[in-house]
Chains A and B, each alone.
Chain A
Amino acid sequence: MAWESLDRRTPVIEPNAPPVLSEAIRAKIRSFFPRYETKRAALLPALHVVQDALGHVSWQAMKEIAEVLEIPPAQVLDTISFYTHFWTHEKGRKVVVLCRSLSCQLLGADAVRQAIERQLKIGEHETTEDGAYSFVTEECLAACDHAPCLLINERLHKCVKPGDVPKLLADPNNDRVAMPRSELFDRPAGSAVESKGGA
């Protein structure tokens, strides 16, 4: 068959599943409420908080976010499906985002892409078997002066050459920026599923 049909009888969310959002995460989401006139406006920050803490935003997490924000779950799904940053299924601990826009392509992003795919043995939108890396390409990362550039979680790597890729991906600290940080969007302490690491 050319298409797959969805099984609509099995519920996506287990009826009696324990909540996935801890009280700390909920408190963090609520801390964004005073900033906006409506609670719905805190949805993007909430999704960021949840994704940073849990790795991705599952259907159950969406439903619980809807509870916290007092909006229908459909509105959460509506919003989340628009933005490319959010993952609704499991992703790797580190996400490699390669810029594919014109400046980077002119300076050899295609070769970098092949090097990444060779090194990680995955294609775009795939995750390595050990769950360490996911690989995606994105439109312009606004660092065209350092083309070709790629982002690993929150750290931008500039002027990447295909030969640098194996070393870059082997470096355990390739995803954190060492600088004075604001904790505003960082995951709340003690709330995270620690086995996820990274974030």
Chain B
Amino acid sequence: MASFEPVLTRNFGVENIRSIDVYRAKGGYKAAETALRSMSPEQVVEVVTAANLRGRGGAGFPAGVKWSFLPKDRRITYLCVNADESEPGTFNNRALMEGDPHQVLEGILISGYATRTTTAYIYMRVEFHEQFHVLQKALDAAYAAGLFGRNILGTNFSMDCYIHRGAGAYVCGEETGLIESLEGKRGWPRIKPPFPAVEGLFRRPTVVNNVETLACVVHIIERGAEWFKSIGTANSAGPKLYTISGPVKRPGVYEAPLGLSCRELIFGDAYAQGMSDGKGVKGCIPGGLSVGVLTEQELDCKLDFDDVRKYGLLGLGTAGAIVIPSDADIRQVLMNVTRFYAHESCGQCTQCREGTSWMYKIAARIAIGAGRIEDLDLLIEVSQNMGMMGGLSICGLPDGAAYPIRTIVEKFRDEFERHIRAQEPGRAAEVLRRLNPAAYSLPILGQSRWVGVR
């Protein structure tokens, strides 16, 4: 690992890297020139497919394969760049856009060429104000240098690029939700098929890629597919930006080959350097909230696309780790997690809309000290029925909600039970009755009187 040379973050911290001249002096836009002048779009797709570049946005779908789904006889193609980063614990796109904006633009240019894109839209979440100005300034400079617009770099390839700002919705990070939102509608994911590659934005062939995926493309063109595959593990090639937050000594963005272990990320000298204030680790959510939780004993899990599944997690996700310290109340963690999904469910599919809010109510009940042991089974049952069963919902949000909730309840069940047993007796029934008088004013079997409504 010592020989690993960071590429995505190589320009981070370089003075004035946001200016196009500095970026060019560092060798920037060379890869774009190589691709546009000496390669055909099909060759670029081939190289990226050969490099086995898997999407960095969460699902891990190979980018080159996604591009090859585009119909051959298309006239208009759209490229949507997913910068709607809103998975809790994830901030690698933000780091890329403010740390090296031209690298992102170069990735867009090369990928746009490979997919013969006519217009690229960068869908950026609205909370990114500073990043918007940075990227828009960089984009203006790139336009002025002839890197976007008509006849780029003197070739007959033309592409426009615009930044489209979102308006605060997690579900717009889902590719079809993003497309709907770009069309000016509510960000409701679409039923697939047709997949965006066939019928996407404005019903044209569309490719949606994450910012980090596109940044990787630059280096694949520069150094070749073999170099890319030599990094990381067999099935998960390439460098990856790992982000870590929570009570650790050095939270931040770290570039490492795929397959870094979670323990190394938390305790490694090159990474977060351990917990702050001498706290212990209770658990770690290794890849953005939606993948699930690892306990302290499971920290040796390798963070790549395959190993995480052995620990009952959804996948690698965005590799944004949140460390839960030993003094955190797991009930509060569960409540925070369930609240997120209850707030962000778009409301199209019944089991997600109802399931997420139901689980939030249960978690809130447990958190205020009115839980019941059977609530834990109920949470698992709801999460089973809501996500995890394929094809039940339009998008992946209910799966993303089910995994963290189920893993937290299953892996920390002892702790929940300890808390519930320590509650004062009768508290649960009292709170429930107060919260929902109608349901609890029913006669109890074997008793002649009604349980009163107050």
Hey, which chain B residues are within 8 Å of A151, CB to CB? 127, 129
Pick the contact of B184: A38, A143, A154, A184 (CB < 8 A): A38
Interface bits A90-104 vs B (CB < 8 Å: 1, else 0): 000000010011110
A103 to B182, CA, bound (A): 29
User: Is A155 part of the binding interface, using a Cβ–Cβ cutoff of 8 Å?
Assistant: yes
Pick the contact of A140: B89, B133, B285 (CB < 8 A): B89
Assuming the contacts A38-B202, A101-B340, asked whether A106 and B324 have C-beta atoms less than 8 A apart, the reply is: yes
Inter-chain contact B89/A103, CB cutoff 8 Å: yes
Query: Which residues of A in the span 15-46 have a Cβ within 8 Å of any Cβ on B?
Result: 35-38, 40-45
Hey, which chain A residues are within 8 Å of B128, CB to CB? 142
Number of A residues contacting the other chain (C-beta, 8 Å)? 52
Hey, which chain A residues are within 8 Å of B119, CB to CB? 35
Hey, which chain A residues are within 8 Å of B170, CB to CB? 139
User: Is A48 part of the binding interface, using a Cβ–Cβ cutoff of 8 Å?
Assistant: yes
DSSP majority for the B interface?
Answer: mixed
User: Is A132 part of the binding interface, using a Cβ–Cβ cutoff of 8 Å?
Assistant: no
A76 closest partner in B (C-beta): B184
Inter-chain contact A144/B89, CB cutoff 8 Å: yes
B83 closest partner in A (C-beta): A142
- Interface segment, one of B45-53, B215-223, B240-248: B240-248
Q: How far is the CB of B272 from chain A (nearest CB, A)?
A: 10
Query: Which residues of A in the span 168-185 have a Cβ within 8 Å of any Cβ on B?
Result: 177, 179-182, 184-185
Residues of B within 8 A of A (CB): 85-91, 93-94, 119, 125-130, 132-134, 136-137, 140, 160, 162-170, 181-188, 202, 204, 243-247, 251-253, 285, 289, 320, 322, 324-325, 328, 332-333, 336-337, 339-340, 343-344, 346
15 new A-B contacts at CB < 8 Å, known A82-B186, A85-B166, A182-B136: A48-B167, A78-B186, A83-B187, A86-B167, A100-B336, A101-B336, A138-B127, A138-B168, A140-B89, A140-B90, A142-B125, A143-B94, A145-B253, A179-B130, A180-B137
Q: Which 8 A-B pairs have the closest CB atoms?
A: A43-B184, A144-B245, A83-B167, A154-B129, A82-B186, A182-B136, A85-B168, A101-B88
